């Protein structure tokens, strides 16, 4: 089970070769007083628990992503003005993307956070306007998708690129294996050079 409404996570998870069903979790995502790694793991855990409560026999995974710039946490923008403000703040600078993942299985819980450094290019105001007009920023932490080919906001990604997209596949695979789920090594191009890569057979 995947406790997420994110289409990016739904697109990434098949790389682990695990049959899954998507059930979005409706939770209170407050908790800004926590540091980003703790908050991301807590939100991922609460999403997974919300779904596991109704599906106790299933293994449930949850995830949450937070962008951090100068110690300030950026979630999903509420409107175009907030999206523009986020993108302008990130422009030409390095920030960190923190994605927490959680796995709930047989009453046991496991969580882990993955932090990745992302440096943005110096995109123009017109590019930001076009990106916002396409409606892209509003369901994304920090208002951007690193994989967006048209906007192409980032120049470098130091760490797990899949975590920036929304689901650190190697980390999730390890948590699933620990929970007794046979998950395959992800063969996506973004995963081949991942610093969290751990080769080996499933099971």
Whether the Cβ atoms of residue 97 and residue 115 lie closer than 8 Å to each other: yes
Distance (Å, whole) CA 175 – CA 3? 15
Distance (Å, whole) CA 137 – CA 162? 18
Other CB atoms within a 10 A radius of the CB of residue 178 amount to: 12
The active-site residue, picked from 33, 54, 64, 178, is 64
Residue where the block lists tokens 């290019």 = 121
> Which phi and psi (to 5°) does residue 85 adopt?
-60, -40
Whether the Cβ atoms of residue 124 and residue 93 lie closer than 8 Å to each other: no
| Residue 28 designated active-site | no
Helix segments in 134-168, DSSP class H:
161-165
Whether the Cβ atoms of residue 64 and residue 36 lie closer than 8 Å to each other: no
Which run of H or of E encompasses 108? strand 108-120
Distance (Å, whole) CA 202 – CA 104? 18
Which residues are annotated as catalytic? 64
């Amino acid at each position: 089970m995947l406790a997420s409404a994110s289409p990016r996570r739904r697109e990434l998870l098949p790389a682990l070769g695990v049959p899954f069903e998507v059930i979005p979790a409706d939770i209170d995502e407050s908790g800004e007083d926590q540091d980003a790694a703790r908050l991301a793991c807590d939100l991922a855990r609460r999403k997974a628990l919300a779904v596991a409560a109704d599906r106790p026999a299933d293994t449930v995974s949850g995830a949450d992503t937070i962008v951090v710039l100068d110690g300030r946490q950026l979630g999903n923008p509420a409107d175009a003005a907030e999206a523009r403000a986020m993108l302008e703040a990130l422009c030409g600078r390095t920030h960190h993307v923190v994605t927490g993942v959680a796995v709930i299985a047989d009453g046991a819980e496991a969580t882990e956070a993955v932090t990745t450094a992302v440096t943005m290019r110096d995109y123009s105001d017109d590019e930001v306007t076009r990106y916002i007009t396409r409606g892209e920023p509003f369901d994304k932490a920090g208002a951007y998708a690193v994989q967006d080919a048209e906007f192409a906001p980032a120049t470098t990604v130091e760490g797990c690129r899949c975590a920036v997209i929304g689901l650190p596949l190697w980390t999730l695979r390890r948590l699933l294996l620990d929970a007794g789920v046979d998950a395959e090594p992800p063969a996506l191009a973004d995963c081949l050079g991942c610093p969290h890569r751990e080769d080996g057979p499933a099971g």
